[in-house]
């Protein structure tokens, strides 16, 4: 009986040692570096499960012991993350465990998409259509159909998307970028409108958006935005037309070829502020925050005119005579 007990004890020790050794070997396979000699881009496709990804990594030679990774689901299921769709950068020296953790993290490879201030919605859509690795859900749709997908049916899109740099990863759609930009513009416009001056010639946040788009298209010089807003405010107060060229260009649409003629200035379009009174019916571009803030906080003063100096800034004048002299100096002589 004693000999039997000793035998059983020895067998138990040997079995324990074997289990421990097997476990340590399994651990060593998971902790071994993956087989990449330089950074490698790897994509987890939509709908791919853990075992499918493990098989794919083994087929590519990134991992050698795929059995060790499959066994992880049985021995340590809590350490098997839900994989996220997207691209990941696999680094040399990374262990198998670190690889598994990475593929379930939010450390996906992202790409920048910059929408400049003053661009139109048409330009933004062209940018989205050509963005690499961005899923297209709006290509071929009309602007009206796009706005309906964004739950803004019947809303004219121009001006409603905040210009900024957005980052996305593979698997994200252009509709998601548009929704981000729309939500940001709505939030920023609300905040800016709440902080507006009391004495304005505009009566709503939407009119502030229109005014900001005019300011954005007129100047890229930060110091001028409030002064241009002041000129527009005083012209409206005095019943003068705004006479701003960017509205003429917007009204011309695709017929604009880089220059405005006298005939264009006389062309009656809903956007030609040389013909219509007040502001155009909609924004003509996507304004940034600075232009929005200028629209609701115009600079006090007496200037009623401005003309481009040709260097990105403007000369401001109080009288028509002074303005005509400035036009001769900066435009006709040039």
Q: What is the CATH number of the domain that holds 51?
A: 3.30.1490
Rounded Cα–Cα distance for residues 200 and 208 (Å): 10
Rounded Cα–Cα distance for residues 177 and 138 (Å): 11
Residues 93, 212, single domain; the answer is no
pLDDT of residue 234: 96
Please give the residue that has the higher pLDDT: either 26 or 32. 32
Please give the residue that has the higher pLDDT: either 3 or 232. 232
Average pLDDT over residues 42-68: 85
Residues 237, 306, single domain; the answer is yes
pLDDT of residue 24: 66
CA distances from 260 to 248, 251, 263, 270, 334 (A): 8, 11, 8, 17, 16
Residues 45, 93, single domain; the answer is yes
Torsion (CA) 246, 287, 329, 310 in degrees, nearest 10: -100
Supply 142's token pair: 């009309």
pLDDT of residue 72: 74
Rounded Cα–Cα distance for residues 329 and 322 (Å): 11
* Pair 225, 290: CB distance under 8 Å: yes
- 244 domain-assigned: yes
Of all residues in the chain, the percent with pLDDT exceeding 70 is: 91
pLDDT of residue 250: 94
pLDDT of residue 111: 95
* Pair 117, 293: CB distance under 8 Å: no
Q: Mean pLDDT lowest for which of 117-126, 149-158, 188-197, 308-317?
A: 308-317
Which of 176, 143, 170, 168 is closest to 158 using CA atoms?
A: 143
Beta bridge partners of 33: 95
Rounded Cα–Cα distance for residues 303 and 228 (Å): 9
Rounded Cα–Cα distance for residues 273 and 162 (Å): 24
pLDDT of residue 175: 97
pLDDT of residue 4: 54
Q: What is the mean pLDDT of the chain?
A: 88
* Pair 219, 225: CB distance under 8 Å: yes
Task: Please spell the DSSP secondary structure of 53-113, one letter per residue.
Answer: HHHHHHHTTS-S-HHHHHHHHHH-GGG-PPP-SEEEEE-TT-BHHHHHHHHTSS---EEEE
Supply 162's token pair: 């905040």
Rounded Cα–Cα distance for residues 279 and 215 (Å): 12
What value, to the nearest 5°, has the Cα angle with vertex 322 and ends 262 and 210? Answer: 60
Q: Which H helix or E strand runs over 1?
A: none
End-to-end CA distance of the chain: 114
- 13 domain-assigned: no
Q: Mean pLDDT lowest for which of 45-59, 194-208, 224-238, 269-283?
A: 45-59
Rounded Cα–Cα distance for residues 303 and 231 (Å): 6
Q: pLDDT at residue 7 above 70?
A: no
Beta bridge partners of 173: 135
> What's the domain range around 141?
110-189
Of all residues in the chain, the percent with pLDDT exceeding 90 is: 59
The SS3 assignment for 229 reads: helix
Confidence of residue 285 (pLDDT cuts 50, 70, 90): very high
- 5 domain-assigned: no
Which of 131, 81, 128 is closest to 106 using CA atoms?
A: 81
pLDDT of residue 15: 52
- 231 domain-assigned: yes
Which of 100, 37, 104 is closest to 68 using CA atoms?
A: 100
DSSP 172: B
Rounded Cα–Cα distance for residues 40 and 56 (Å): 14
Residues 221, 268, single domain; the answer is yes
Q: pLDDT at residue 32 above 90?
A: no
Confidence of residue 18 (pLDDT cuts 50, 70, 90): low
User: Among residues 156, 189, 222, which one ends one of the domains?
Assistant: 189
Structural domains in the chain (count): 3
- 15 domain-assigned: no
- 102 domain-assigned: yes
Supply 71's token pair: 């066994």
- 35 domain-assigned: yes
Please give the residue that has the higher pLDDT: either 257 or 221. 221
Q: pLDDT at residue 76 above 90?
A: no
Residues 102, 118, single domain; the answer is no
- 9 domain-assigned: no
pLDDT of residue 84: 82
Residues 132, 103, single domain; the answer is no
Residues 73, 145, single domain; the answer is no
Residues 87, 101, single domain; the answer is yes
Average pLDDT over residues 235-262: 91
User: Which residues, in sequence order, are CB contacts of 29 under 8 Å at separation 6+?
Assistant: 64, 65, 68, 96
Q: pLDDT at residue 137 above 70?
A: yes
Q: Mean pLDDT lowest for which of 50-64, 184-198, 241-255, 265-279?
A: 50-64
Please give the residue that has the higher pLDDT: either 81 or 156. 156
Residues 185, 236, single domain; the answer is no
pLDDT of residue 235: 96
pLDDT of residue 26: 58
Residues 207, 316, single domain; the answer is yes
Residues 104, 216, single domain; the answer is no
Residues 203, 295, single domain; the answer is yes
- The region that residue 84 occupies, defined by phi over 0 for left and psi between -120 and 50 for alpha, beta otherwise, is beta
User: Among residues 189, 210, 228, which one ends one of the domains?
Assistant: 189
User: Among residues 189, 222, 237, which one ends one of the domains?
Assistant: 189
């Amino acid at each position: 009986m004693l000999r039997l007990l000793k035998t059983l004890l020895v067998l138990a020790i040997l079995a324990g040692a074997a289990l421990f050794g097997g476990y340590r070997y399994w651990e060593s396979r998971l902790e071994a570096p993956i087989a990449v000699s330089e950074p490698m881009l790897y994509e987890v496709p939509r709908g791919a499960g853990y075992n499918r990804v493990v098989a794919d990594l083994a087929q590519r030679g990134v991992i050698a012991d795929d059995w060790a990774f499959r066994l992880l689901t049985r021995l340590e299921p809590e350490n098997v993350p839900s994989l996220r769709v997207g691209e990941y950068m696999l680094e040399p020296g990374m262990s198998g465990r670190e690889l598994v953790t990475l593929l379930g993290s939010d450390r996906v490879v992202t790409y920048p998409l910059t929408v400049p201030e003053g661009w139109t919605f048409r330009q933004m859509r062209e940018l989205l259509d050509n963005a690499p690795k961005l899923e297209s859900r709006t290509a071929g749709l009309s602007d009206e159909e796009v706005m309906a997908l964004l739950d803004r049916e019947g809303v004219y899109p121009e001006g409603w998307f905040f210009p900024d740099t957005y980052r996305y990863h593979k698997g994200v759609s252009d509709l998601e970028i548009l929704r981000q930009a729309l939500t940001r513009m709505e939030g920023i416009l609300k905040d800016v409108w709440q902080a507006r001056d009391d004495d304005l010639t505009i009566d709503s946040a939407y009119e502030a958006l229109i005014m900001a788009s005019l300011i954005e298209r007129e100047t890229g010089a930060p110091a001028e935005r409030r002064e241009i807003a002041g000129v527009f405010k005083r012209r409206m107060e005095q019943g003068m037309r705004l006479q701003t060229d960017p509205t003429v260009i917007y009204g011309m649409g695709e017929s604009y070829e880089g220059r405005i003629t006298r005939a264009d200035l006389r062309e009656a379009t809903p956007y030609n502020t040389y013909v219509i009174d007040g502001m155009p019916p909609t924004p003509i571009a996507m304004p940034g925050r600075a232009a929005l803030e200028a629209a609701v906080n115009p600079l006090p003063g007496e200037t009623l005119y401005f003309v481009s100096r040709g260097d990105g800034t403007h000369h401001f004048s109080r009288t028509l005579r002074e303005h005509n002299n400035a036009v001769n100096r900066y435009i006709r002589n040039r």
